[in-house]
């Protein structure tokens, strides 16, 4: 088990039963960010308005933004409306930055759309971005629950019907689910 996976498991172990019972899906990542880590989640139409947001140019966009000094996590509302699974992944990704990288004394940690899009083919990304992705996957799709639901799903939904069922249960995109299955099964 990787260090990032262990950190995600420790974060989930901190979640009180009234927030999440450890088995009900999908994992309530927004409630965890709020109740356990005290982060305010804002769905924002104009991510460029965030303090410390980089100049993105005409074709650029941000999926998420962590403002550690303010305890705020900003999520691109347009993307969130189009892809709820991606919104969940973005929250998990930014929570990963909160748990692993906020001590780097950076006022703002931002993630371009392409860096949290599990479907995008992209060049090698910085290690903190890779770690935040792995943390998000481990929070949203805990390994033990993945194995349990995968086995159950294979029995109940033979063939290709299992995969979309797992995506539905975990509230995950197909790309994120595919990567997570390869990592834990």
User: Whose CA is closest to 98, among 64, 74, 75, 71?
Assistant: 71
| Predicted pLDDT of residue 118 | 46
Model pLDDT for residues 42-62, shown as the tens digit of each residue? 999 988 888 878 777 776 788
Is the whole model's pTM more than 0.85, yes or no? yes
User: What number is the average pLDDT over the span 156-173?
Assistant: 92
In this predicted structure, the answer to whether residue 23 has a pLDDT above a threshold of 50 is yes
Long-range pairs for 161-170 at CB < 8 Å and ≥24 separation?
Answer: 167/85, 169/25, 169/26, 170/25, 170/26, 170/27, 170/140, 170/141, 170/145, 170/146
What residue spans define the domains of the chain?
A: 3-142
Specify the CATH class of 3-142 in words.
Answer: mainly alpha
In this predicted structure, the answer to whether residue 115 has a pLDDT above a threshold of 80 is no
In this predicted structure, the answer to whether residue 25 has a pLDDT above a threshold of 50 is yes
In this predicted structure, the answer to whether residue 149 has a pLDDT above a threshold of 70 is yes
C-alpha distance from residue 154 to each of 14, 24, 146 (Å): 31, 19, 12
| Predicted pLDDT of residue 47 | 87
Model pLDDT for residues 62-100, shown as the tens digit of each residue? 899 999 989 999 999 999 999 989 999 999 999 999 999
């Amino acid at each position: 088990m990787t260090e990032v996976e262990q950190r995600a498991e420790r974060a989930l172990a901190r979640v009180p039963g009234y927030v999440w019972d450890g088995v009900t899906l999908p994992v309530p990542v927004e409630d965890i960010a709020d109740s356990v880590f005290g982060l305010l989640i804002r769905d924002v139409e104009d991510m460029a308005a965030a303090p410390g947001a980089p100049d993105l140019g005409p074709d650029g966009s941000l999926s998420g933004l962590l403002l550690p000094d303010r305890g705020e996590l900003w999520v691109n509302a347009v993307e969130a409306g189009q892809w709820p699974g991606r919104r969940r992944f973005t929250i998990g990704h930014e929570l990963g930055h909160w748990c692993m990288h906020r001590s780097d004394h950076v006022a703002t940690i931002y993630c371009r759309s392409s860096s949290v899009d599990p479907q995008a083919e992209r060049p090698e990304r910085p290690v903190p971005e890779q770690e935040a992705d792995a943390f998000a996957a481990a929070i949203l799709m805990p390994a033990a629950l993945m194995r349990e639901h995968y086995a159950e799903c294979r029995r109940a939904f033979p063939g290709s019907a299992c995969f979309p069922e797992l995506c539905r249960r975990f509230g995950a995109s197909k790309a994120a689910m595919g990567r997570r299955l390869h990592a834990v099964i």
